[in-house]
Amino acid sequence: MCLDPATAAAVALGGKIVGKVAGAGGKVLSAINARRQARFQQQIFDKQAADERSAALAEEERLRIQASAALGDQAVNLAAQGSRIDEGSPLLLQVQSAENLRADQLLVRFGGATRARTATDRGILARREGEAQFTSGIFGAAGDLLELGTGLAGGTL
């Protein structure tokens, strides 16, 4: 079966139109999926940040309990040796040990906060990249459809 030239041209034009519309639709779907993926990644990073904060708090508490026990043992040992623990070198030792504990706790807290901030920043970056991909995809699809419209209007398609 052979098509007359007008029908063949119409079929060819229809194929071009369908191709452009399908391409634009594909770009829109890709853009939507990029946005969804970026939001999911941000949720993962937000969860990681929360976990880092919780882990740091737990480690800080563990250090506090461990150091409190060590300070108590230290006081008992000093007292068992006949030292007064409320004055002089034994007191300075207790104070220094407490200051060391506080420094360790602050390091743990700072480390947890830093890891949490890094995870949060990675989530924000993932979200922004996804939004950029979304915008690019939507504008790409719009450009394809505008090209189709101008091609139809100008008879160049």
pTM above 0.85, yes or no: no
Q: Which pairs from 123-126 meet CB under 8 Å and 24+ separation?
A: 123/41, 123/42, 123/43, 123/44, 123/45, 123/46, 123/49, 124/42, 126/38, 126/41, 126/42, 126/45
Q: Write phi, then psi, for 84 (nearest 5 degrees).
A: -85, 125
The pLDDT assigned to 8 comes to 83
More confident residue, 30 or 80: 30
Q: What is the pLDDT of residue 1?
A: 60
How does residue 114 score in pLDDT terms, banded at 50, 70 and 90?
very high
Task: State mean pLDDT over 116-141.
Answer: 95
Half-sphere exposure at residue 141, Cβ-oriented, CA atoms within 13 angstroms: 17
Cβ neighbours for 106, distance < 8 A, ≥ 6 positions apart: none
Least confident of 35-39, 92-96, 135-139: 92-96
pLDDT in the model for residue 9: 83
Give the side-chain half-sphere CA count within 13 A for 58: 6
Residue 156 CB-density burial (10 A; 0-12 exposed, 13-18 middle, 19+ buried): exposed
Question: What confidence tens digit (pLDDT) does each residue in 61-81 have?
Answer: 999 898 888 888 887 887 788
Q: Where are the domains of the chain?
A: 5-154
Question: Residues near 157 by Cβ (< 8 Å), separated by ≥ 6?
Answer: 13, 16, 17, 148, 151
